[in-house]
Homo-oligomer: A and B are copies of this chain.
Amino acid sequence: MSKTNAGYFFEDYRVGQVIRHAVPRTVAEGERALYHMLYPARHALYSSDVFAADCGLESSPLDDLIAFHIVFGKTVPDVSLNAVANLGYAEGRWLAPVWPGDTLRSESEVIGLKQNSNGKSGVVYVRTTGLNQNDEPVLSYVRWVMVRKRDLDAPAPEMVVPELAKTVAAGDLTVPGGLDFTDYDFDLAGEPHRLGDYRVGEVIDHVDGVTIEEAEHMMATRLWQNTAKVHFDATHREDGKRLIYGGHVISMARALSFNGLANAQMIVALNGGAHANPCFAGDTVRAWSEVLDIAETDAPGVGAIRLRLVATKGAGEGLRGEDGKYLPHVLLDLDYWALMPV
């Protein structure tokens, strides 16, 4: 047993520690095709090299969530193996597009530690950076998770809780070099709505639903080399269910949001997010969005829209109950910035 990875426990982390995560990954056109097979993804910039070139890019980059899933997946053996809960995300910023042929790897720095009062676990804050083959960062985000202690007698570390921005400021968004929506083709993109057509507070029901199968969520999760056993092993939970990777729900909801947000092309920031309730095979996932903010950028014709993306299952309405807790039909509450033609 000594050769296998037992993962880090709470007392193994130190503030300032940098973990180089294993298994770099070259991504190419195969991953793009798979993304279109696993999700009803239709944003034109990620579907057509010609459309992307007409928007000033050299070709169509890989979906921003492919980058996220791959960078995230690499952290699982070092961050999530003994985690009991994924508590939150903040300060997520996409810093450069990922192109077919790029090789991604991940590094995480421990930026905070807080032992729980029960002495059995603690919260670990990490800032994870995805890097390409030129060591350029493509993505950076903070995540905090609750991790078990191996040795309950290990002393509590000094408490360090990082100050995290509630949202990424519009001025801190990175617009990919060359992006230009001046001659944007709304017909080919699928909808006529430009940034000016949306108003803060507007809610968009994305209408469509997708019933999820075991084979699909396992293949998606495996594709990102996320091997957390709770997603794959039906004998792991007492109820015999495989928990669906939260990122699968993110990608499904984002793809469904095409219907009403076809022009919210590029994801450039993740302000926060909660996996409100678990998702299982057989659930039918739907989504709605709320416009939270609208901003300008310096790139020609390019604006930014801040969106709340909520994924649900079943028939419930609303987001939170009177007690402030997420209602049981809510799967995901995500807050992100996307780029849209003005």
List the interface of chain A (C-beta within 8 A of B).
1, 3-5, 20, 22-34, 36-42, 44, 47-51, 60, 77, 101, 103, 105, 133, 187-191, 193, 197-198, 202, 204-211, 213-216, 218-220, 222-223, 225, 227, 229, 232-236, 242, 259-262, 282, 284
CB-CB under 8 A for A60 and B26, given A3-B193, A235-B211:
yes
Kindly report which residue of chain B lies nearest to residue A32, judged by CB atoms.
B30
Give Cα A32 to B103, complex, Å: 14
- Each complex incorporates copies of this chain amounting to 3
Q: Which residues of B contact A206 (CB under 8 A)?
A: 4
Kindly report which residue of chain B lies nearest to residue A33, judged by CB atoms.
B30
Q: Which residues of B contact A133 (CB under 8 A)?
A: 49-50
A34 touches B26 (CB 8 A): no
A284 touches B189 (CB 8 A): no
> In the complex, which of the residues B20, B44, B204 contacts A4, with contact meaning CB atoms closer than 8 Å?
B204
B208 touches A227 (CB 8 A): yes
A188 touches B24 (CB 8 A): yes
CB-CB under 8 A for A191 and B3, given A29-B28, A48-B25:
yes
Kindly report which residue of chain B lies nearest to residue A224, judged by CB atoms.
B36
CB-CB under 8 A for A36 and B223, given A205-B1, A206-B4:
yes
Name 14 extra pairs, CB < 8 A, besides A3-B202, A49-B101, A216-B219. Answer: A1-B205, A3-B197, A3-B198, A3-B204, A4-B204, A4-B205, A22-B189, A24-B44, A25-B36, A28-B29, A28-B32, A30-B32, A40-B225, A208-B232
B4 touches A22 (CB 8 A): no
Least CB distance from A311 to B in Å reads 14
Find the residue from A3, A24, A105, A222 having the highest chain B CB count within 10 A: A3
> In the complex, which of the residues B190, B211, B282 contacts A233, with contact meaning CB atoms closer than 8 Å?
B211
> In the complex, which of the residues B5, B101, B198, B223 contacts A37, with contact meaning CB atoms closer than 8 Å?
B223
Least CB distance from A75 to B in Å reads 13
A211 touches B234 (CB 8 A): yes
A48 touches B103 (CB 8 A): yes
B218 touches A188 (CB 8 A): no
Least CB distance from A236 to B in Å reads 7
B42 touches A23 (CB 8 A): yes
B44 touches A26 (CB 8 A): no
Give Cα A42 to B25, complex, Å: 9
Least CB distance from A40 to B in Å reads 5
Q: Which residues of B contact A261 (CB under 8 A)?
A: 3
Q: Which residues of B contact A259 (CB under 8 A)?
A: 4-5
Q: Which residues of B contact A101 (CB under 8 A)?
A: 49
Q: Which residues of B contact A227 (CB under 8 A)?
A: 40, 42, 208
Give Cα A37 to B248, complex, Å: 14
A24 touches B50 (CB 8 A): yes
